Amino acid sequence: MASNSQSLEIDLQKRSSLAVMRHLLGVESIPDAPTLLEHAMILCIDCEAYEFNHNKVTEVGLAMVSSSDFRAVQPELQGPFAENLLKKIFFYHFRVIENAHLINRRFCPGNPTKNRFGQTRFLTLSQIQDALTSAFNWDIDPEDPGVGRCPIVLIGHALQNDTNMLGSIGIDASILDMVVKTVDTQVLAGEVGLPSYRGHWIGLRNLCHIHGFSPLDSHTAGNDAAYTILNAVFLAMRNELFVDGLETAVNGLGTIQDVVDSISHESTMHIYRYGSATFCEGAGVILTFGRNATSD
């Protein structure tokens, strides 16, 4: 007999990425959706590897939010371009200590010191394994773990590349057991009618430009994870957010670039009370994810 999460995964296989995203955002509910979906955690991941050895992962970017936090923001309170909704997202940027000296400068240049979302943490491979395992395992009721785990909706851009890289840092495939739906923004873009370019999937930078904001310091994992989840929301709420044009101010409150800049700025002030804020040589880092994380 299938477990509740397996039954949910089977159900969501019949649903488009667009339908699932709109449900998670509270925009348009899926009729008769399994109750377990209301407890979904949304994770967006991006990995960067060394350009001369793709087995050496140098960075991991992660963005996380619960569907309940999204749905708690009433439409009239979402702000311009859903700014108040997007500020529910927490952003993380991990640099792999063992590979931190490997910087991509030639084929896919990126600057890991230019993270713009959340705060950078230096972690060993073992610590990153623990951090990601924690991120993919949430209790529905922290006071009663027996209730079960939250289902995970995993978002990425060309997501298969990132999930493949998880194996390079020793992440067991079982970490994905609670993933009930994957949402690739390349597929999502096609579902809303954005054209491909000469038969190729749309690139992340192009997707940002289409939505009217600049992908500053891309090819840094924390930034790309942020740009991916922001674009996923913009795609899913395209009809609601862009009725007056991509760069048109909404009620005089600002452009989409203003919103992205504000999210970037505020996310760097997040405080994670249950983990070390810095890495010191010879000292371990314990990084715990929790809904009690707050911001100034």
Residue 293, domain member (yes or no): no
User: Which tokens belong to 276?
Assistant: 């070390």
Q: How confident is the model at residue 129 (pLDDT cuts 50, 70, 90)?
A: very high
In a domain, 182, yes or no: yes
| pLDDT for residue 12 | 95
Q: Number of folded domains in the chain?
A: 1
Confidence at 288, pLDDT banded by 50, 70, 90: low
Inside any domain, residue 296: no
295 in any annotated domain: no
266 or 200, greater pLDDT: 266
137 vs 248, which has greater pLDDT?
137
Residue 149 lies in a domain: yes
pLDDT of residue 292: 43
Q: Which domain holds residue 56?
A: 4-288
CA proximity to 281, closest of 99, 97, 59, 95? 97
The string of DSSP letters for 233-276 reads: HHHHTHHHH-TT-TT--STTS--HHHHHHHHHHHHTTEE-TTS-
pLDDT at 287: 52
CATH classification at residue 199: 3.30.420.10
In a domain, residue 161? The reply is: yes
3-state secondary structure of 114: helix
In a domain, 203, yes or no: yes
Tell me, yes or no, whether 25 lies in a domain: yes
Average pLDDT, the chain: 87
Which has the closest alpha carbon to 224: 112, 105, 75?
112
pLDDT at 147: 85
